[in-house]
Structure 1
């Protein structure tokens, strides 16, 4: 069954609810009809749309760089040509909103960020279960079970009706990255001075992490600071803080894991004024007071560059920086899940999926499914691990079980991102996963969070004041969103 294309009126409501203003001129394309892709009479299910050209719009990520460098096998298999457009995420969101609202499909394939695309625009995406179970196309719904469960839910679903709008495509996850060579060199002295084993592990707490950072500040010249953080007034600051917030038992909304896993339109009142959230903010303020002062100017890229330059001994960052770390600091970096707070370890998941625009015509939709099926397949993910052009880590559990991939978890490794495998496997367990709220208004809420945290870090607000102001702003934003969505 092919669902009717989303009406322009419904899509515009979702776009404005998601905080993206749509220019009227962007809607004119909906008045122009277009022909569907041609479908060939052939027994080869992979060749039935040969001659079709599709457009894939993606954030400029390492996995997309690897896919772009490896399109020849797909074209040889299917006869389909893929044009890839890569953009910074905010620019991508605006283009996707305009394209979905137009009633056309300039971009048949969409990098569906769970928070800025999937949550506000899920009605503009195809339910992939229908394509997976189409006997004329490769694939079946049972194959979805091969994806890491928390990733399929967080990156692919919105709502509790079982629909799957995107297949997990990348899976950046924040973990603890540290100079193993320096931890090994100073281990005994650190243990004697600190009174605990400083080796990063499942029992290490955030308070111990802070103490280790201070020890490096005071006792070594090999790095300028013990720790660095991605505390720029930017989305990265929300990500960095959230790991601490969740570990203290705080959250943005009630039932936070489910709000992050499946998403909701109405999340209820913000919880950042609760005691555990204020306690987490107070600890984060203390942590940043001993971290490299340049942390307040760094997003994840700046932090990664500082770590590789030997400026800091440890940091929380996305696990897919491992390949870059290994190229600059071969054999010197270790990886662990995040430290524990009073309640748990929490590791921010930042993965995204690929979806198909509901504006696609029937044959275009089938052709797009072939690419989506191929791009997230086990063989393609394995090639991406080896790619010199980029590449992330797999979203399918079967890839991790391959002997060559298992071997790559240890040095020397031809797949250096796999050096993080033990840490991310722990991070993806439901009890350790950190999932930000998947709600249509998240982009505005995110801005409110990092704006107030930034005020706190420069001393313009206390932790309690920052959390109170953030709560007030988020409650106004989500209330407005409920009205718009309704």
Structure 2
């Protein structure tokens, strides 16, 4: 795979560099200079947003005279805020770096500018992996029509305490209890055993920190990972069939595993997302956590993480199947901000260059599916997060990207959350109810006509 990436990169590197270089110093095509204009970008509060602002200040603005403002909104309000603006057909921002699930909604409702010709004219299909382009820009899936450019390809995996896993005391006690060696888990059942051991047999410790329901998609992202690994699925993305799939045996077993892991975690995690999970880790009360790569730079900060030297990472384990949740966002040009379409496209031309992508990839947590990053010899060494991120690329799967995706997220979080977080009912009951609700959502949207 790496050899393939390298060959492709060598073939396009010169062209990629020239996409933006050739436009430097030019006006907007109407005789007006770019100098003094401002591009407004909306993203969430986390490390990649800071990285984007920094490299835009260092590279893009000096080359074009265009000032870039990356407005950051807390994750709890991020998608609500930009969707409210889109529904109002507002132009508060020129580019929204929106979630991958939102691509269908943005495309079908006319919120996002179609970029198919722009992508083809600038050779952008050669600069990113096909999977990244499809996940973050293509709608309908398989059509080749593009509405976004990958901004962040964000795999999920685990951070863990090497000192606890390698402690002779814990290794001996664990093997005596479970009959096999304490090590990085290869399966989810092994991970559950490890979490159980630390909660039940180690004073002052809980087993693992995972997501609760943050009011958006946190519960869905961990839930889908377990569903896939235990042999289930969200549904058939082509036929939109959900009954007999989201509530099949594998899906139910995945949600049972979620409930068990949640029980083995610290108290007060009912609304937990990445910050709460990280805080549980650095407070020293759990041996491992599940999180997105882009949200883990806190653990790479020696001042913030007292266990920095003991911290390591491992790929999401397998069970019946092997997959992990895809996070990340795409750069989407907003249709209603017509007066700045020219500088928004100029920004995208810069963004896809080798220079911009490599610089971005050097910031911890800033991972993307571009060949420039994946084949850069220094990328894997730039952060301890990156080797596991690269290994996770082949495992990535995503949520529904249909225009009614928000309804699927809320019904999943509410229905499954009652079982996982509150312990109400059964996994079978939750998943059967969810199948009925999703079928109704898709039926009302006309997918079964």
* TM superposition score category, shorter chain reference: 0.7 to 0.9
Q: What is the 5 A alignment of 1:162-201?
A: 162-186=144-168, 188-189=171-172, 190-200=174-184
Q: Distance in 2 between matches of 1:381 and 1:85?
A: 20
Secondary structure, counterpart of 1:126 in structure 2: coil
For structure 2, the 5+ residue unaligned runs are 1-20, 29-33
Secondary structure, counterpart of 2:384 in structure 1: helix
Displacement after TM superposition at 1:245 (Å): 0.5
Displacement after TM superposition at 1:128 (Å): 2.4
Displacement after TM superposition at 1:43 (Å): 7.7
Displacement after TM superposition at 1:282 (Å): 2.2
Q: Distance in 1 between matches of 2:210 and 2:183?
A: 19
CA RMSD across the alignment: 2.8
Aligned in 2, Cα 1:302/1:93: closer, same or farther, shift over 3 Å?
closer
Q: What is the 5 A alignment of 1:50-449?
A: 50-51=34-35, 52-72=37-57, 73-88=59-74, 91-93=77-79, 96-97=82-83, 100=86, 105-115=91-101, 117-123=102-108, 124=110, 125-134=112-121, 140-141=122-123, 143-159=124-140, 160-186=142-168, 188-189=171-172, 190-200=174-184, 204-221=186-203, 224-232=205-213, 234=215, 235-254=217-236, 259=237, 267-270=240-243, 271-327=245-301, 328=305, 329-342=307-320, 344-361=321-338, 364-387=340-363, 392-406=366-380, 408=381, 415=382, 418-429=383-394, 432-449=395-412
Aligned in 2, Cα 1:58/1:43: closer, same or farther, shift over 3 Å?
closer
1:440-466 C-alpha deviation (Å, 9 max, x unpaired) = 111111111111222113232111111
Structure 2 length-normalised TM: 0.82
Aligned in 2, Cα 1:423/1:156: closer, same or farther, shift over 3 Å?
same
Query: How many corresponding residue pairs?
Result: 410
Does the Cα contact within 8 Å between 1:65 and 1:391 map onto a contact in 2?
no
Q: Distance in 1 between matches of 2:358 and 2:365?
A: 10
Does the Cα contact within 8 Å between 2:224 and 2:234 map onto a contact in 1?
no
Q: Distance in 2 between matches of 1:284 and 1:253?
A: 19
Secondary structure, counterpart of 1:153 in structure 2: helix
For structure 1, the 5+ residue unaligned runs are 1-41, 135-139, 409-414
Aligned in 2, Cα 1:391/1:374: closer, same or farther, shift over 3 Å?
farther
Structure 1 length-normalised TM: 0.77
